[in-house]
């Protein structure tokens, strides 16, 4: 599919020198617990079917998660929380995501991020966010015929996603709506949902509980016709 071709092109991107250096250094040095892994060490493409009706937009791959396994939210604590919730609401065929060949399938859902390379301290710069936006815009273009809802995890993703939706042809309200957990914004033909990010900082402290996450996913899935 065109989306699979886009994903393949993405994995060769070297547009952000700082992130290229970091993703490759992490892949070389590894974490002791993963010493026997060959790290992916490249841009991590979106995961899920090309005709997805629901899109989940995160922040960026984790150094020892997506940057190790090559799949979004796979092999780290944030992903454990997200995939368990997707499974609980019937959008995934298994509750865990450990490697790119573990048989996990999503039902009508695709997961992507506004920045596709692992950043130091999980903090991309505004310049890196803007550079990577063209990939998200292309992905949105290709998903446009089917996608009807999007869940955006956290304020960084929200700020990156709104201009990307606008560039991809959706009408985005002005002034741009602010991020909040529970925010819901109707674009033409697509509803955007804000949700706290599934980071450990939010899930360990109870700022985002599993039930809060399931609730957003359920509402978004129903909106998307899943």
Query: C-beta of 16: minimal distance to ligand SF4 in Å?
Result: 3
Query: Shortest Cβ distance from residue 188 to ligand SF4 (Å)?
Result: 27
The residues of the shown chain that bind ligand SF4, judged by CB under 6 A, are 10, 13-16, 19-20, 43, 115-117, 128, 131-132, 135
Give the residue with the Cβ less far from ligand SF4, 15 or 187: 15
| Minimum gap (Å) between residue 61 Cβ and ligand SF4 | 9
Query: What's the CA gap between 131 and 33, in Å, rounded?
Result: 33
Dihedral pair phi/psi, residue 190, rounded to 5°:
-150, 135
C-alpha distance from residue 126 to each of 4, 22, 78, 119 (Å) = 27, 17, 22, 12
For ligand SF4, give the closer residue by CB, 10 or 52. Answer: 10
Query: Residue 62 or residue 216: which is nearer to ligand SF4 going by CB?
Result: 62
Nearer to ligand SF4 by C-beta: 15 or 155?
15
Q: Which residues contact 62 (CB under 8 A, 6 or more apart)?
A: 73, 75, 76, 78, 79, 118, 122
- Shortest distance in whole angstroms from residue 6 CB to ligand SF4: 11
In terms of Cβ atoms closer than 10 Å to its own Cβ (0-12, 13-18, 19+), residue 29 is exposed
């Amino acid at each position: 599919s065109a989306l699979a071709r886009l994903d393949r092109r993405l994995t060769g991107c070297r547009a952000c020198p700082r992130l290229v250096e970091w993703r490759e250094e992490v892949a070389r040095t590894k974490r002791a617990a993963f010493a026997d892994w060959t790290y992916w060490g490249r841009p991590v493409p979106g995961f899920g079917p090309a005709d997805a009706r629901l899109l989940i937009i995160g922040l960026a791959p984790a150094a020892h998660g997506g940057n190790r396994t090559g799949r979004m939210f796979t092999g780290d604590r944030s992903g454990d929380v997200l995939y368990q919730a997707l499974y609980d609401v019937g959008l995934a065929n298994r509750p865990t995501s450990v490697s790119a060949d573990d048989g996990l399938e999503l039902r009508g859902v695709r997961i992507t991020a506004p920045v596709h390379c692992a950043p130091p301290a999980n903090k991309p710069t505004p310049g890196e966010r803007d550079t990577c936006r063209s990939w998200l815009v292309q992905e949105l273009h290709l998903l446009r015929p089917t996608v009807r809802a999007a869940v955006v995890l956290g304020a960084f993703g929200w700020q990156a996603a709104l201009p990307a939706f606008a560039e991809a042809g959706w009408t985005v309200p002005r002034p741009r709506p602010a991020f909040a957990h529970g925010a819901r914004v109707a674009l033409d033909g697509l509803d955007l949902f804000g949700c706290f990010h599934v980071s450990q900082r939010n899930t360990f402290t109870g700022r985002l509980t599993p039930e809060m996450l399931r609730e957003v996913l359920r509402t978004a899935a129903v909106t998307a016709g899943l």
